[in-house]
Amino acid sequence: MSATVATDPAPPRPPLQSWPLLRRLLARFGPYRAAAAGVFVLVLLRTALEIAAPFFVQRAVDAFADGTAVAAHRLPEGYATILAAFAAVLVARAVVAYGSAVGAASLAQAIENRFRSDLFRRVTKLRFRWHDRNRSGKTIARSLRDMERARLFFREVAFGYLELILLLVLGVAGCAVLHPLFGALVALTSVTGFLLTLRVASRIAKMDLAADDEYDHVSTVLQENVAGARVIRAFGREPEESSKFGGRLTTFTGSWHNVVLFWTGRMTWIGSIHHGGLVLNVIAGAWLVGRGSVTPGAVAAVFLIVRALTQRLRNMTRLVIMGQQAVASAARVFEVLENDDVIAFPADPKTLPGDGAARGALRIDDVTFSYVAGTPVLRGVTLHVPAGQSLGILGPTAAGKTTLVQLLPRFYDPDSGSITLDGVDLRNLDPAALTAAVGIVFQEPFLFSATVADNISYGNPGVPRERVVACAKLAAAHEFIEKLPKGYETVVGERGVSLSGGQRQRLTIARALAMDPRVLVFDDATASVDAVTEKELFQGIRAAARGRTTLVISQRITSIRWCDRVAVLDRGTVTAIGTHDELLAASPLYREVFEHQRIQGIAL
């Protein structure tokens, strides 16, 4: 039976460094340089058109400056041309803005897809120690919520900052062209507000990361309540679980509330700098017009440029929040992407001997393994299963049975010792060959939301239908499959028809057989079914094991006594090995289990 796995605690998260994270996020544009350059050109053109528009307003205002046209009750000469050019600039800006928005969205989607795929591939390659430390709720949050924020960075934040910087540069230059004093005032107020906002943002990132961690706890509690709904209701723990969820939600809300209070408080003062800049430029404009240094049209143009800058810098509040959320989320995603605790594949992978040689000889030599350093779960385990023979492994809970099984497909690697299959160390074996060579039937019969045939052929998608049916018959599943609404094309799993525990387990047996593995492993496969179902299941198990190397893990003697030999595992050590009769005579633990189950009335 599976036991709770203790693992080394996760290493502490390093301090958040915004700029290195920003560089790594920007590096994601690398494979899409051409598309990014195209969007950059469009953003630059859009910004230039936005700054150019006020200069047409300047000419339109100054055309009435001498009063001649007003006195004659007519438009100044060339005024229609100015208005037409102004309209053309506005239309061109709208067209370019549309193109840049579509281009940025398409580029962001491509980068997000690649980013998400990289995360998915990394998660599938990480050792199970990482999965033991990270609950599914946290993993889902990283994949969904954090990636959504990263998408906003690529779609809005990166190009938003680009447009803002371009607007600042071109806006200051445009105002300086009209008069150096305008340029100096705009540069002073706008750049000061911009830099202060960036400085406040680093604090926001740390606070937002703490809030995200609290969100992980909320997700985990919710996921556990959905997955364990039957257990919670059976024990009447709904009020306690609701209280726990409410507590986590309150903590998360408090963390996010602190972020909002800090941000709004700082941005109120920074916003006053932008408004002050607008007032200063109006005052300076009036003074310069009075001296004859600039025209009223120039003041109007400066007003429009500064107004555009002020509005855009106001939006910087949203931009920086999204940017810092993206940085905080990226820190969590990069924790996974840069985690090097992955399954080590051999540089020169070996293959297993062909069909002419013995298939399935399994040797476990002096294997020691621990989930937590210094606390071994297996201690010097040595077992040998000749090709085509069966070995039962019996022991109490937490004896290390499931752990031993998980070393065979390399879910974990031994701390010391070795495991060989047909003379090849598993660590030197080609991963695909290992997967095909070891078929496992787990205690919990998991089925995908797919047809019966697809579930059976999951590990060997190209297997012909005849083989699928043959495996179902070996697993004693064919009869009930034929009675399903659409037979082998019936959808099962979460979205499909309901099956009993025994039926689901028979399908998982058929799934393992469809791979035609050299070694077939049953990890307490009958622990959750009744005695009658167990008897039916073992008709299929014994048929499947015929002529194939088989390991049967169980706490029930009825499940393993038919094996060629049985090993008794206790506290991570093999204490005895032999046939059923030999163990009754030589192993006190085996004899104790036998007598206990006999008293319980289990057919032995």
Blockwise average pLDDT, block size 10, the chain, 604 residues: 46 54 85 92 92 89 67 69 91 94 89 86 76 61 70 82 88 90 88 79 72 80 80 81 89 86 78 78 86 87 86 74 76 77 76 72 93 88 92 89 89 91 90 87 85 91 91 87 92 71 86 89 74 68 78 86 90 92 91 84 58
Q: What are phi and psi of 552, to 5 degrees?
A: -120, 115
CA distance 228 to 231: 5
Q: Is residue 417 part of a domain?
A: yes
**Residues 70 and 160 placed together within one structural domain of the fold:** yes
DSSP 372-387: ETTEEEEEEEEEEE-T
Residue type, 297: G
**Residues 379 and 317 placed together within one structural domain of the fold:** no
CA distance 275 to 583: 88
CA distance 590 to 575: 10
What pLDDT was estimated at residue 464?
A: 92
CATH code of the domain containing 177: 1.20.1560.10
**Residues 199 and 136 placed together within one structural domain of the fold:** yes
Q: What are phi and psi of 332, to 5 degrees?
A: -70, -40
Q: 363: which DSSP letter? A: E
**Residues 433 and 553 placed together within one structural domain of the fold:** yes
**Residues 329 and 283 placed together within one structural domain of the fold:** yes
**Residues 37 and 135 placed together within one structural domain of the fold:** yes
**Residues 175 and 277 placed together within one structural domain of the fold:** yes
Residue type, 311: Q
Nearest CA-CA partner of 342 in 410, 400, 435: 410
Q: Is residue 263 part of a domain?
A: yes
**Residues 404 and 281 placed together within one structural domain of the fold:** no
**Residues 274 and 366 placed together within one structural domain of the fold:** no
**Residues 373 and 303 placed together within one structural domain of the fold:** no
Give the other-Cβ count within 10 Å of 293's Cβ.
14
What pLDDT was estimated at residue 497?
A: 62
Residue type, 309: L
**Residues 89 and 202 placed together within one structural domain of the fold:** yes
Answer yes or no: pTM beyond 0.75: no
Last residue of a domain, one of 283, 302, 337: 337
Q: Is residue 2 part of a domain?
A: no
CA distance 556 to 604: 9
Burial per residue of 475-493, b for 16 or more beta-carbon CB atoms within 10 angstroms, e otherwise:
bbbbebbeebeeebebbbb
Q: Is residue 463 part of a domain?
A: no
The DSSP bridge partners found for residue 577 are 567
**Residues 370 and 248 placed together within one structural domain of the fold:** no
Q: What are phi and psi of 361, to 5 degrees?
A: -70, 115
CA distance 23 to 553: 50
Q: Please state whether beta strands 416-421 and 424-425 pair in parallel, antiparallel, or not at all (unpaired).
A: antiparallel
- The answer to whether residues 526 and 539 touch, using CB atoms and an 8 Å cutoff, is no
Q: Is residue 480 part of a domain?
A: no
What pLDDT was estimated at residue 98?
A: 95
The structure tokens 């830099």 sit at 195
What pLDDT was estimated at residue 72?
A: 60
- The answer to whether residues 426 and 507 touch, using CB atoms and an 8 Å cutoff, is no
CA distance 331 to 205: 10
CA distance 561 to 570: 18
What's the structural domain count of the chain? 2
The structure tokens 């409410």 sit at 246
Q: Is residue 498 part of a domain?
A: no
Nearest CA-CA partner of 512 in 554, 448, 468, 546: 468
Q: Is residue 353 part of a domain?
A: no
CA distance 488 to 481: 6
Task: Please report, to the nearest 10 degrees, the dihedral formed by the alpha carbons of residues 163, 168, 173, 175 taken in order.
Answer: 120
The structure tokens 């070393």 sit at 407
Question: Distance of alpha carbon 374 from its chain centroid, rounded?
Answer: 31
Residue type, 230: R
Q: 9: which DSSP letter? A: P
Q: Is residue 200 part of a domain?
A: yes
CA distance 76 to 67: 9
Which structural domain range is residue 565 located in?
362-447+519-599
CATH code of the domain containing 540: 3.40.50.300
